[in-house]
Copies of this chain bind each other. A is one copy, B any other.
Amino acid sequence: MNIVLLDPRQTESEFWTISSKRQLEHLQQHLEIQVGDTLKVGILNGKRYLTEVMEITESKVKIKPLQEETVPDKIPVTLIVALPRPKVLRRLIMDAVTMGVEKIILLHSYRVDKSYWQTPFLQQLDHYIELGLEQAGDTIPPRIELYKRFKPFVEDVLPTLIRADQPAYVAHPYAEMRMPYAVNHSCTVVIGPEGGFIPYEIDLLMKNGCQAVSVGNRILRTETAVSYVLGRLCV
């Protein structure tokens, strides 16, 4: 947690109030804050401030904004990823948000167990986004969309994301073309499930405008692949 993210309603008076149990625990146990300390705070969907701690009680921390700080820019990437196992979902969403992708699409695929779509963790996406924003020092949530059917998404939605100057890449171990580095324009990246996309899926992605690109012959876990690929693509 590198900033404390507040709802705009918590910042309407002169002094702002931090009252979430999770945030208070972090501030008291990890940062051991004291009255007079400065604290980085972001307003969800708004600006970011350096603040001063004015008062600490068991149930809240009162702060006063001192000066505005810069919110980091998003990276112009749409990340499409096969829905991962529930226990991986939290870290994957949190990391993608931390790295600053503009939009995340969770997609079904042949090797995604259908039961994953029933996990209660999918109700927690807003919380995972909040954790990612607090890690990154960002205040603007990315959009998240869920598509439970692979073919209609790839045929009807994916082509609307692709233009001549906005390519889409699907990471595929057997592709001949290598994933590019430091792409300085918008793009879409597609990451398959554990076990990979099946050949039919790769074909359908390519027919609908995706370029299959390799990041080497080592097979990465989905969440590792996401950060590996973003590190490579992002300027």
Contact = CB atoms under 8 A, between A and B. Distances in A.
Counted per complex, copies of this chain come to 2
Of listed A98, A216, A221, A227, residue having the most chain B CB within 10 A: A227
A72 B215 CA distance: 12
A144 interface: no
A8 interface: no
Given A224-B227, A232-B232, A219 B181 contact: no
Contacts of A136: 218-220
A135 interface: yes
A100 B227 contact: no
A72 B221 contact: no
B135 A99 contact: no
Nearest to A220: B98
Interface majority SS (helix, strand, loop, mixed), chain A: loop
A36 interface: no
B220 A99 contact: yes
B232 A98 contact: no
Contacts of A217: 70, 72, 137
Interface in A37-83: 70, 72
A227 B95 CA distance: 11
A99 B215 CA distance: 10
Interface of A: 2, 70, 72, 95, 98-100, 135-138, 181-182, 215-221, 224, 227-232, 234
